[in-house]
Copies of this chain bind each other. A is one copy, B any other.
């Protein structure tokens, strides 16, 4: 996550009214007037705050007739909130070391994957590892959740040490776990290689 996005996120969250909006939406979606009512503020004020929150991507909206409902995306919120605890680690990814061409990527996949699709070994170099992880994780369906057993079984179709692969998917934010079920993260949370 780059610096100015992080600044925007924390500026957005660093306001009592907006924190109260987040707290409300954690309970479920609401429309603007309802938020204004609950907070004792005028609708334009709510529009103003929702815009800032929407700009970060943590809130989206759906229209139903004349009413627009606002939803909190808790996964994104969590991801962005935790980003500051990893600040500086990302620097690597903006280095030219991390620029990967299509050709290079093909080459890396070819080097580490057998013709019948099995992973020969987990690359020790971070960049290569991320490319491998991204390649295999695409088998999961966005929005669908999986049991740990399913995840393990899938990994074992291409690599013996399923625990490592599963752990790395979580660590690099390809997937996340909630209530012992696994789900793909939106691509924008993935490392920026592929």
Binding site for B on A (CB under 8 A): 3-4, 6-16, 19-20, 22-24, 26-27, 74, 77-78, 81-82, 84-85, 87-88
Contacts and interface: CB of A to CB of B under 8 A. Distances in A.
Nearest to A88: B23
- Copy tally for this chain in the complex stands at 2
A166 to B, nearest CB: 16
Given A10-B15, A81-B81, 11 more contacts: A7-B15, A7-B19, A11-B14, A13-B14, A22-B87, A26-B87, A26-B88, A77-B85, A78-B82, A78-B85, A81-B85
A147 B85 CA distance: 24
Contacts of A12: 14
Contacts of A74: 85
A38 to B, nearest CB: 13
B22 A3 contact: no
Given A26-B87, A78-B85, A84-B81, A10 B20 contact: no
A11 B11 CA distance: 6
Contacts of A81: 81-82, 84-85
21 contacts: A3-B20, A7-B14, A7-B19, A9-B14, A10-B13, A10-B14, A10-B15, A11-B14, A11-B15, A12-B14, A13-B84, A14-B14, A19-B84, A19-B87, A22-B87, A23-B88, A27-B88, A78-B82, A81-B81, A81-B82, A81-B84
Contacts of A16: 3-4, 7
